[in-house]
């Protein structure tokens, strides 16, 4: 089933809360979004917004991933000896993948509701600063 504005507008939740309101679609600059404006038929009840070329401060998940990457890097720095251990040819990539998977398993817990809320609040401050024509940090 294709997702369309028309079919989604008939869903009970939409009818109850959003009838008569515009649908706003916010796109980042992923390659899959490059032709969206050309492919979407203009409609009065549809607004397409595009984020600036690289605006991680407007995307809370970017902040969460940044924290996760820092935790993984810290773990990997402690696992350095295991990473550079001599292994037989053909086993290096598999061994490193296991170490990386272990790093992710031990680090993923940092993405919790508190962090997500913190990053969402940071996004709100960044957007408010942009609206005031100030630097977003």
Q: Tell me: the pLDDT tens digits for 62-94?
A: 899 999 999 999 999 999 998 888 888 889 889
Distances (CA, A) of 105 to 48, 101, 125: 37, 6, 31
Tell me how far apart the alpha carbons of residues 37 and 46 are, in angstroms, rounded to a whole number: 11
Q: How confident is the model at residue 137 (pLDDT cuts 50, 70, 90)?
A: low
| Pairwise pLDDT comparison (121 vs 53), residue with the higher score | 121
Instruction: Parse the chain into domains and list their residue ranges.
Output: 5-50, 56-131
23 SS3 class? strand
Tokens 């401060």, residue? 57
* pTM reported for the whole predicted model: 0.58
């Amino acid at each position: 089933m294709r997702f369309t504005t028309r079919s989604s507008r008939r869903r009970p939740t939409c009818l109850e809360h959003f009838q008569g309101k515009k649908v706003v679609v916010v796109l980042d600059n992923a390659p899959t979004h490059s032709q969206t404006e050309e492919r979407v038929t203009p409609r009065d009840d549809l607004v397409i917004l595009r984020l600036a070329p690289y605006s991680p401060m407007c995307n809370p998940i970017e902040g969460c991933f940044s924290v996760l990457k820092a935790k993984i890097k810290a773990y990997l720095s402690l696992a350095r000896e295991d990473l550079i251990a001599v292994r037989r040819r053909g086993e290096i990539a598999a061994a490193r993948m296991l170490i990386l998977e272990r790093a992710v398993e031990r680090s993923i817990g940092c993405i919790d509701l508190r962090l997500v809320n913190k990053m969402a609040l940071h996004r709100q401050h960044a957007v408010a600063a942009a609206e005031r024509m100030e630097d977003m940090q």
